[in-house]
Amino acid sequence: MHTDRKALWAVRQSALPAVVRPCPDCPGTRHRPSGKIRVNASGKLLDVWLLLSCVNCDRTSKVPVHERVHVSTLEPSRLVSYENNDPAAVRELTISASLAARNNYRLDWDGTWELDVRTPLYALDSVAPLRIRVVFDLPAPVRVERLLMLGLGLSRPRVRRMLAHGLVLLPPGLGTKAHRGFEFTLHRPATPPSVSAAEVPALARWPHSEPLGA
């Protein structure tokens, strides 16, 4: 059976990021979206806020999304989604980097994602390079090195060694943080003169637990 030499890694959302800013009532700084959006109308002018809850003391606070905007400037469907606390609208506002910048807070993406690795099984004798496409369901900044450690099941030194041996061709740098999709190539050493199986255990296991050079 023919298999193409491609794998897909997906950064899946497991939670929304925390909004980090001081709480007026307690020393806590982490906030979660409460799931609500408040819309106040004054004549034809609208105010829209995203409501947050302090993780520590549960105090509700507001993030201004729109201030004194004319009702005609908002798409009717968007206004309806705000009025109905549409979870997709809450998500969109919570992960918005521009809203965070405008309101002077930071987003903490820790614990917001997990890596879903889908590597097809290949013939044992295949030594063709594997092209891996990484896609992001959410714009969580993820260190490329950490992605490789998780995806390949390797320690940091071993990921670095693979890169040094030219077994990973990576467009973004290992130390960069990616938050959108990219592709890279993984080479399996056919007859590795200088790389032992012990040095590259993921390749030794790739595609599925067969020893190198077997």
Residues that bind Zn ion (CB under 5 A): 23, 25-26, 28, 54, 56-57, 59
* Cβ distance to Zn ion smaller for residue 59 or 160: 59
- Strand stretches in 15-88, DSSP E: 18-20, 30-42, 45-54, 60-70
* Cβ distance to Zn ion smaller for residue 55 or 174: 55
* Cβ distance to Zn ion smaller for residue 25 or 183: 25
Q: How far is the CB of 194 from Zn ion (least distance, A)?
A: 56
Cα–Cα dist 180/197, whole Å? 32
Q: How far is the CB of 58 from Zn ion (least distance, A)?
A: 7
Number of other CB atoms surrounding residue 173 within 10 Å: 11
* Cβ distance to Zn ion smaller for residue 58 or 116: 58
Q: How far is the CB of 24 from Zn ion (least distance, A)?
A: 8
Number of other CB atoms surrounding residue 41 within 10 Å: 12
Q: How far is the CB of 82 from Zn ion (least distance, A)?
A: 25
Q: Is 63 exposed, middle or buried (0-12, 13-18, 19+ CB in 10 A)?
A: buried
Maximum CA extent, the chain: 77
Q: How far is the CB of 67 from Zn ion (least distance, A)?
A: 24
Q: Which residues make beta-bridge pairs with 116? A: 10
* Cβ distance to Zn ion smaller for residue 56 or 185: 56
Q: Indicate the length of the chain as a whole number.
A: 214
